[in-house]
Amino acid sequence: MAEIGHYSLLIAFFLALYSTIASFAGTRVPDLGESARRAALALFWLLTIAACTLVYLLAVRDLTVEYVARYTSTVLPMSYAISAFWAGNAGSLLFWVWLLSAYAALVVRGTRKSPSRLVIPALGVMMLIALFFLGLILFLYRIDPEMTPGMVRDPFYATLQVLFGSPEGGLHPACNPFWRLPLRPAEGLGLNPQLQNPGMMFHPPTLYLGYVGMAVPYAFAMAALLTGRVGNEWLSLTRRWTLVAWFFLSIGNILGGWWAYVTLGWGGYWGWDPVENAAFIPWLLATAFLHSVIMQEKRGMFRTWNMVLVLITFVSTIFGTYLTRSGVISSVHAFARNEAFNIAFLAFMAVALVVSFALLFARRNQLASENPIEAVLSREAAFLFNNVVLVGIALVVLFGTVFPAISSAFTGVQVSMGPAWFNNVLWPLWAMLLLLTGVGPVISWRRARRNEFRRGFAIPFAVGIVVAAALVLAGMRNGYALAFFAICAFVLGTIAQEVFRMLRTRTGTLDSPPARKAPVAAFTRNRRFGSYIVHLGVIIVAVGVTGSSLFERQSDLVLRQGEARPFEDHVFRYTSFRRAQEPNRDVYAAGVEVARAGEVRAKVEVVKEDYHAEQMRWTKARILSSVVEDVYLTLAAFQEDGSAIILSVRRIPLVVWLWIGGAVLVLGSLIAMLPDTRERVRRARPASRTGER
């Protein structure tokens, strides 16, 4: 079976090469363009065969395949064996290029009736990216001193050994998930315990869907630069693709935070880990682009800037893919270091940047803005400030992420920027970004007038003041918290006000035929309403982050069996201890009774697990959630006979609102992706009655 996967990849490489050449030649020869489309569809099916082959090998635990032996074992549950597909370098690269082929196939299908001359060159760009990843999988090697020609079964690799082998050892594929071992090991190494969580089945795929999805707007932007068609055509073709990619990036980041929170046992959801940051940077840049594109559509502005944002967002997704696999920066998520892999990825990013910006420079005159910013107090200026802050946050996160590698290169010592550094530097930027979230939708285009300011911001400002005063009266004295909660209340007030005005404006359209059939859709199915829901989700997330970051309390309780100790208004009693042996791990569980106000709130077990194949001990948290706070319990230590334990207790306020806000944000992005009913309404009513504020 491994041979089927390997030769599917080999054929796919040459098919991607043909589709790339045919796509760029197809801009002049229509028949070649159609052939490139068909080759892209065939590429998807070939890579689907390769992906399904790897899934099968993982499911049956074919330990003769090196990738399977490295990331599974015979006792690993089936769900985690399948999710090992993206647990390692080779499998995740195959997953990446398979997703890219799926996006390319969807573009081919979705544009088969499109007259746009950007589709074929955009397809060529996507095929060129696929070619790079397939080349990594098939032709990137490392020297293995233990490799001998007799250990190579596959004739393709045997030929390469003869041509490129070294006296120091044989060539060992660095990224091919179908490489067979000469001997079958008795047992596989298994999966890292922190990956044995339901998050493993959802977080990496959604993040990859976001990473790879940004290749589509990048490809169309490059096609626009190559052909000189740099107007709004490429934006209209990629708007929904960008929203889809941003949607999955949002889910991936939220799931990553939830996974860290429930799995790592430290009570946090974001530690500014390099790989977390690498996923966050593209989200920030894509968010900036989604805001900035409005300026080009409505005012003919920021055209060069939009190109820049698309280009650097795509490169940032490649950087995120690289950082996870390079090993250049320490991370709980990172794979082993591979120098040849690092050189190939860095070269690809450098070429992408140089070529992209060279084309951008060549088209700079065609990308000039049609209108200037007329006043600082205007919606155009608010969008500009919003972009500056988002990109500023991304640059700060990037600097803090790569600084350890920079310090190591110049001093030989890797100096890390910890969470405290990120928090201290970014707090003012977050506050400014939240404030702009409320200001942007309310302020007028071109130039704001004093009476409009008073009418637009009086109620939201009053809401913010009232909330801040109420919190002070309730005893809150933390200045950061008061500022952020007041800003959140202000933005919530602007959202509510704008939604009310939008619905009141739309009321006049309800007697049109499309709206009578779907009155709710007439209100909700438009991008503007979706953006308000997204902003609402952001505010709810900000409330959760502020409460959980600034007001967490923690204590370690030493408990003997049967003993109870209080922490604030809760009492924790150690009731029992048990050991259990499972096929892949030993479980040590302490029973804890949690009471409040004399009543038992919950009976839980806090657990440590020793994984056999992985030879690792892992702590699992138990979380009692409410809308007010989470009580987060972990087993810090225990006596072997179970006579005593150390119970770590954390009280984390408002953290559940982070997950609620994430769900609202995802809902808003889904609404923004739906077909817009406003066009149908405008066709049914005179323009004067459907105009927007």
Read off the pLDDT of each residue in 597-619 and give the average, rounded to a whole number: 85
At 594, the pLDDT band (50, 70, 90 cuts) reads very high
Tokens read off for 494: 């602007």
Chain position carrying tokens 């040459």: 14
> In angstroms, rounded to a whole number, what is the distance separating the alpha carbons of residues 291 and 380?
11
Strands in 622-625's sheet, in edge-to-edge order, are 553-560, 644-653, 629-638, 622-625
Q: What is the DSSP string of 480-498?
A: HHHHHHHHHHHHHHHHHHH
CA distances from 36 to 16, 94, 136 (A): 9, 22, 22
Q: What is the pLDDT of residue 688?
A: 39
Q: What is the pLDDT of residues 304-362, one digit of tens each?
A: 999 999 999 999 999 988 887 765 665 555 555 567 778 888 899 999 999 999 999 99
Tokens read off for 68: 């399977």
Q: What is the pLDDT of residue 467?
A: 94
Q: Is the pLDDT of residue 288 over 70?
A: yes
Q: What is the pLDDT of residue 171?
A: 67
Percent of the chain residues topping a pLDDT of 70: 88
- Main-chain phi, psi angles of 404, to 5 degrees: -55, -40
Of the candidates 224, 646, 291, the one whose C-alpha atom is nearest the C-alpha of residue 437 is 291
Q: What is the DSSP string of 85-136?
A: GGTSHHHHHHHHHHHHHHHHHHHHHHTTT---SSHHHHHHHHHHHHHHHHHH
The residues spanned by each domain of the chain are 1-140+175-194, 449-550+657-689, 553-653
**Cβ-contact 139, 93 below 8 angstroms:** no
> In angstroms, rounded to a whole number, what is the distance separating the alpha carbons of residues 248 and 211?
8
507 contacts: CB under 8 Å, gap ≥ 6: none
Taking all residues of the chain, what is their mean pLDDT, rounded to a whole number? 85
Q: Which residue has the higher pLDDT, 339 or 651?
A: 651
Count other Cβ atoms within 10 Å, centred on residue 523. 18
Q: Strand (E) positions, 218-345? A: none
**Cβ-contact 595, 569 below 8 angstroms:** no
The end-to-end CA distance of the chain, in Å, is 61
Q: What is the pLDDT of residue 510?
A: 46
Q: Is the pLDDT of residue 67 over 70?
A: yes
Tokens read off for 553: 């309390």
**Is domain 553-653 in CATH 1.10.3470, yes or no?**
no
CA pseudo-torsion sign 329, 330, 332, 338: positive
**Cβ-contact 585, 612 below 8 angstroms:** yes
**Cβ-contact 301, 241 below 8 angstroms:** no
Q: Is the pLDDT of residue 690 over 60?
A: no
The three-class DSSP label of residue 656 is helix
> In angstroms, rounded to a whole number, what is the distance separating the alpha carbons of residues 466 and 638?
49
Q: What is the pLDDT of residues 425-455, one digit of tens each?
A: 999 999 999 999 888 778 877 777 777 777 7
Of the candidate ranges 181-195, 316-330, 557-571, the one whose mean pLDDT is the lowest: 316-330
